[in-house]
Amino acid sequence: MNIRFAELKDIEQLIRMRWDFTIEDDETKRSASFHDFERECRVFLEQAIQNENWFIWVAEENGRVLSHIYIELIQKVPRPGRTTYPFAYMTNVYTVPESRDKGIGSKMLKAIHEWVKEKHYEFVIVWPSDESIPYYEKNGYTHCSEPLEYFPI
């Protein structure tokens, strides 16, 4: 398994995974136009993969993307007396059903945590579903008033 940043060649798979992720969570979305969604999602992904604000992490094996995690950097306003680093907003965390409970997501989070430390990002924030809270907690996230945060040590 290879954990890496998404590339333009991954867009078709990422579009399908986002569709599947949404339908899995809310069957009523199945009636939406895949064509319209695909067009909008493709534009987003092309821009995200080619800019410095979004980082899409993927776990792939034999050319197939099994899992992804999207990170958006949120820039902070500089403050006197300290160097200002952005924080990372994590979203769209998904693993295909047949690859779940095999540690892929935790391996991805470990790679992301190392990257966060290397880049000196201030923290990672995520708004988890109720079902995913144990996953994040076992990977070092702590519960605060609403989101979960990870502070690299």
Residue 65 has pLDDT above 80, yes or no: yes
pLDDT of residue 52: 93
CATH T-level topology, domain 2-150: Aminopeptidase (3.40.630)
CA distance 130 to 115: 26
Query: Which pLDDT band, with edges at 50, 70 and 90, does 153 fall under?
Result: confident
- Percent of the chain at pLDDT > 70 equals 99
Domain layout of the chain by residue ranges: 2-150
Give the tens place of pLDDT for each residue, 90-138. 999 999 999 999 999 999 999 999 999 999 999 999 988 899 999 999 9
The structure's pTM equals 0.90
Count CB neighbours of 143 within 10 A.
12
Which three-class secondary structure string do you get for 39-64?
Answer: HHHHHHHHHHHCCCCEEEEEEEECCE
User: Do 59 and 111 contact (CB within 8 A), yes or no?
Assistant: no
Count CB neighbours of 41 within 10 A.
17
Report the half-sphere exposure of 98 (CA within 13 A, side-chain side). 4
